[in-house]
Amino acid sequence: MTDVLSGRELAKSIRADVEALAKKLTDEGVVPTLAILVATDDESTAWYVSSIAKAGDKLGVKVVIRTLKPTATAQELQHELIGLALDEAVHGIILQTPLPESVSTADLANYVPIEKDVDGINPHSAGLLVAGQPAFAPATAEAVMELLRHFKVALSGQRVVVIGRSAVVGKPVAQLLLQEDATVTVAHSKTTDLPALSNEADVLVVAVGRSKMVTRGYVRQGTIVIDVGTNTDADGNLLGDVDAESVEGVAGGLTPVPGGVGPVTTALILKHAVLAADQQRR
Ligand code: NAP
């Protein structure tokens, strides 16, 4: 049997921490505030952003959504980010993807000051993370670590294979795993014989963005598999990067999609926002 490593209970306990700290701050006259800058008309993004706003509302975190047109230029987005960076009432900033076609994250990431960079997109935040110094890690990468901690998965000396090397998931998760003394291999689209490499893993973290790519051949008996993937099929259903049916009975544990990494990530974004508010009032 493969254990289902649900993120729901963990997300609930993170949200409880958020609520307690948000209340303390509000009682002291600081309303923790997260700004989300959106420049897309993608419906699933709109749903995701409004779900963060609703969760924030329940927990005492004010979420301000700034919406620009999907045709917005890099300069327009930069101007908006400068405004949010200077606004003392805003403690955390999320630059929501997807961005307009003509704009890349690299054009904008430096405009999110590191103290407000609650999803770790600024390259300086990434540098601090590599140096082992305090900075907000990208929430998804931290969610992977929190799940491993929650389910008491041993990391020290263990072999971990991370499939995917993006700046928001694969690379930061590899750094965080190294800090826990795991032996980490990062694989990507040019990696040869990925199933054989994955078979060496005690823990397999999959962040590829390809529905059900990881099947039984990638997983050896007992491996703990963290599925970061969120892909949608033609009917709008959410699918992971791992074929859960195929690895059932082989993987020692698997995070479900939905209900695994996703809810923990959302809870952590709000946690980072209240921590940022707490740090900025000092
Ligand atoms: P990304 O920027 O597109 O990066 C994908 C990575 O996968 C790249 O490093 C790419 O390699 C690698 N890759 C692609 N095809 C591959 C293959 N056939 N074999 C091995 N590696 C392959 O994606 P991302 O932003 O990291 O996101 C990954 C997934 O996580 C997506 O499904 C995304 O929706 C999901 N996600 C979920 C959350 C959450 O909260 N649950 C948050 C963020 C992202 P190259 O570098 O060589 O191109």
Cα–ligand 1 centroid distance for 57 (angstroms): 30
User: What is the torsional sign of CA 218, 221, 226, 231?
Assistant: positive
Which among 224, 231, 219, 217 is positioned nearest to 262, based on CA atoms?
231
| Position in ligand 1 atom list of the atom nearest CA 165 | 9
Name the nearest CA neighbour of 33 among 274, 280, 269. Answer: 274
Count of beta carbons in the 10 Å neighbourhood of residue 188:
13
- Regarding the beta carbon of 56 and ligand 1, being less than 6 Å apart is answered no
Hey, CA dihedral for 116, 119, 120, 122, is it positive or negative?
negative
Q: Whose CA is nearest to atom 30 of ligand 1?
A: 229
Q: Find the distance separating the first CA and the last CA of the chain, reported in whole Å.
A: 49
Query: Residue 276: CB within 6 Å of ligand 1?
Result: no
Could you state, in chain order, the average pLDDT of each consecutive group of 10 residues for the chain (282 residues)?
A: 97 98 98 98 92 97 98 98 98 97 96 98 97 96 98 98 97 97 98 98 98 98 98 91 98 98 98 98 80
Asked whether the whole model's pTM tops 0.85, one would answer yes
Ligand 1 centroid, distance to 173 Cα (angstroms): 12
pLDDT at 281: 86
**Residue 282's pLDDT is what?**
73
Q: Can you give the pLDDT at residue 236?
A: 85
Residue 259 Cβ inside 6 Å of ligand 1? The answer reads no
> What distances in angstroms separate CA 156 from CA 89, 134, 148, one per listed residue?
41, 21, 12
Going from the Cα of 25 to the center of ligand 1, the distance in angstroms, rounded, reads 36
pLDDT (0 to 100) of residue 193: 98
For residue 166, report the distance from its CA to the centre of ligand 1, in Å: 6
Which atom, in ligand 1's list, is nearest to the CA of 143? 40
Q: Is the CB of 230 under 6 A from ligand 1?
A: yes
Residue 21's pLDDT is what? 98
**Torsion, Cα of 134, 138, 139, 142 (10° steps):** -60
Rounded to the nearest whole angstrom, what is the distance from the C-alpha of residue 9 to the centroid of ligand 1?
26
168 Cβ inside 6 Å of ligand 1: yes
